[in-house]
Structure 1
Amino acid sequence: MSLRQFEYALAVAEEGSVTAAAEALRVAQPSVSQQIRGLERDLGVELFSRTPTGLVPTVAGRAFLRDAEIAVNAARRARATARAGSEELAGELVVAVQMGLGTRQLPGALSALRRRFPRLEVTVFEEPNPTELERLARGGVIDLALMAGPCDEGLYDGHHLGDEEFVVVLAAGHPQLAVDRVALRDLEREPWVRFDPASALDGVLVDVLRENGLAPTTVARVSQTATAVRWAAHGLGVTFVPASAVPPGHEHLVRPVSPAVSQPVVAAVRPGAGPAETALLEFLRQETWYRFAQSWVAPPSTASSAPVV
């Protein structure tokens, strides 16, 4: 068995066919078919079943692919570390972000990283569901993650970057814009623009309103914080997001709430991290993170709703 066979099997699982996998890998289709057949012969099991919609991993295939993904990612990191010189770091860095965190801070840190290591390829994705973020981390897919801590110190080292206060977003002309801090009880009759029920952001909102004796009336659910802010700004309803997630030009429509709500922002980095992860962590530390008075009140499920990786 070889890493190339692992990569081919992972591509087939992702694309759903040998033809699409070959195109994604930029190799000939017979090469992919041959490698998959050889891998199945070595393993003594069938990795994929043919269905009307394409190739689907078998039970044995799913178990194999989980470990294959870990092996491929470990090899990728080993190659990047081996190639690391003063300015010659190459390879791929995978960064995952719990949706809504670091929206303003991460781009600056990544730009600084690319200037230091211009040959480094960086892949970043937002993940609203903390359970999925945990799965990716345990699968060895993620090199660095931004999350509302804590993290499992056995797999990742957690570094507290700062605290992110949540703010309510109101439409222009809303009477609560006249105050410096909005009392949550004064939002009792407001409709809400919310997020996916499985997302950490929606979990924070539900817990905060429940703690204050409020039951939200939902008018819409969206998948991005910027969309929620814009819809609230147009008067569809109010929404509740981390302060750094507010797009430029909408700052005059946000207010912190009372009692205050904050979350710690934690960078989870693999122990023994390479130069790319270490450099990105340092750039993230240099960014401005929102720190407020220590009287903030975190929602009771903040820790449980955050991914533990």
Structure 2
Amino acid sequence: MRNRIDEEITFRKLEVLLAYMETGNLGRAAEALELSTVSVHRALHSLEQGLRCTLFRHEGRNLNPTDAARVLADTARDVIAAMTDGIRATREAAGYSSNRLRIGSMYSLTTRAVPSVLVDLKVRRPALEVELVLGSNATLLERLKRGELDAVLMAIPDPDPEIESVALFDDDIFFAAPAGSKYARMQEVDLRDCRDERFVSLADGFATSDNFDHAFRIAGFTPDISMRTGDIFSLMNLVSGGVGCTLLPGRVRGAFGDKVEFIRLKSEYVMRQTIGLSFRRARERDPNLLALLAVCRLSSLLGS
């Protein structure tokens, strides 16, 4: 049978001990904990009774900590920190979180959708601290599964028993070329006519990169890719600079003004990305995630 801890030793009393050890004064410790000086003194005396040893020596009105008090304080810091983490983990497992929310997003959603969502979320939950992390679909999904992110705005992933995904809007994929190119006058582009064209692409792991590869499998040839990059805005810079053409989602249309032309693909290449909010099923009752989901659904900019 495990040793039982005396009922006089509580987390609250350990917090009182730490406050006194840090301030060295009963009055300041009481002020920090919003207690009376008498309550602080009683808590320290109660700890001595529970431990059955002396923690402080009385010298006039002062309480001077012994080596035993210092050992207990070191242990108390570790115990309280561990319990704090345990409470947070327990609340997360039960579907409730703290005042911090870590949101992941694809780069392409930062043009309009994500700023709108973050502003509306702050209005709805002003005390919430939000951390925004950008990355590819693959990276965001991996970090979500590891618990490093609370929710992600991205192309909806393949079905997964651990992940809940809520569709928000669909987005068409377009052929993108530099302004003034021969494609600008076309109503639609047949990729089979682009065998001699130079292309640029996103690196593996991005939803748009998957669309790019799928389209050229349909076209029946491997495109000449002169460069790959790690975010969609660098990709658009390469297109506008004439380095090559690519495929892009409609949501970034206009991000570079009139420097990049968006032309529809021929019907056999038509593709859509379904953008949604994904989070772990264990967190589906988390009030912060419910607030985020409500904001995403109401945002008029998400589907624009």
Fold equivalence (TM over 0.5): yes
The aligned counterpart of 1:217 is 224
Offset of 1:112 from its aligned partner?
0.7
TM-score (ref. length: structure 2):
0.62
The aligned counterpart of 1:128 is 136
The answer as to whether partners of 1:128 and 1:201 remain within 8 angstroms in 2 is no
**Matching of residue 274 in structure 1 with residue 286 in structure 2:** yes
**Matching of residue 261 in structure 1 with residue 271 in structure 2:** yes
Offset of 1:190 from its aligned partner?
1.4
The aligned counterpart of 1:92 is 100
**Matching of residue 207 in structure 1 with residue 214 in structure 2:** yes
Offset of 1:79 from its aligned partner?
11
The aligned counterpart of 1:114 is 122
Which blocks of at least 5 consecutive residues in structure 2 are unaligned?
Answer: 1-70, 76-84
Offset of 1:177 from its aligned partner?
0.8
Offset of 1:178 from its aligned partner?
0.8
The aligned counterpart of 2:149 is 142
In 1: Cα distance, 2:88 partner to 2:183 partner: 50
The answer as to whether partners of 1:80 and 1:91 remain within 8 angstroms in 2 is no
Offset of 1:159 from its aligned partner?
0.9
The alignment partner of 1:95 has SS state of strand
Offset of 1:100 from its aligned partner?
3.4
The aligned counterpart of 1:16 is none
The alignment partner of 1:237 has SS state of coil
The answer as to whether partners of 1:157 and 1:270 remain within 8 angstroms in 2 is yes
Change (3 A) 1:260 1:152: closer
In 1: Cα distance, 2:160 partner to 2:208 partner: 23
Partner deviation per Cα, 1:7-38 (whole Å, 9 max, x = no partner) = xxxxxxxxxxxxxxxxxxxxxxxxxxx9xxx9
Change (3 A) 1:176 1:91: same
In 2: Cα distance, 1:290 partner to 1:101 partner: 10
Change (3 A) 1:75 1:147: same
Offset of 1:180 from its aligned partner?
2.9
- Specify the code of the residue in structure 2 equivalent to 1:108: S
The alignment partner of 2:228 has SS state of strand
The answer as to whether partners of 2:211 and 2:271 remain within 8 angstroms in 1 is no
The answer as to whether partners of 1:167 and 1:241 remain within 8 angstroms in 2 is yes
The aligned counterpart of 2:89 is 74
- Specify the code of the residue in structure 1 equivalent to 2:292: L
Change (3 A) 1:187 1:104: farther
The answer as to whether partners of 2:137 and 2:155 remain within 8 angstroms in 1 is no
Structure whose alpha-carbon radius of gyration is higher: 2
CA root-mean-square deviation = 3.4
The alignment partner of 1:211 has SS state of helix
Which blocks of at least 5 consecutive residues in structure 1 are unaligned?
Answer: 1-33, 39-69, 83-89, 292-309
Offset of 1:205 from its aligned partner?
0.9
Alignment of 1:104-253 (within 5 A): 104-128=112-136, 130=138, 132-152=139-159, 154-246=161-253, 247-250=255-258, 253=261
Q: What percent of counterpart residues are identical?
A: 23
The answer as to whether partners of 1:102 and 1:146 remain within 8 angstroms in 2 is no
In 1: Cα distance, 2:231 partner to 2:176 partner: 14
**Matching of residue 283 in structure 1 with residue 303 in structure 2:** no
Change (3 A) 1:208 1:73: farther
The aligned counterpart of 2:11 is none
Q: How many residues align?
A: 219
The alignment partner of 1:159 has SS state of strand
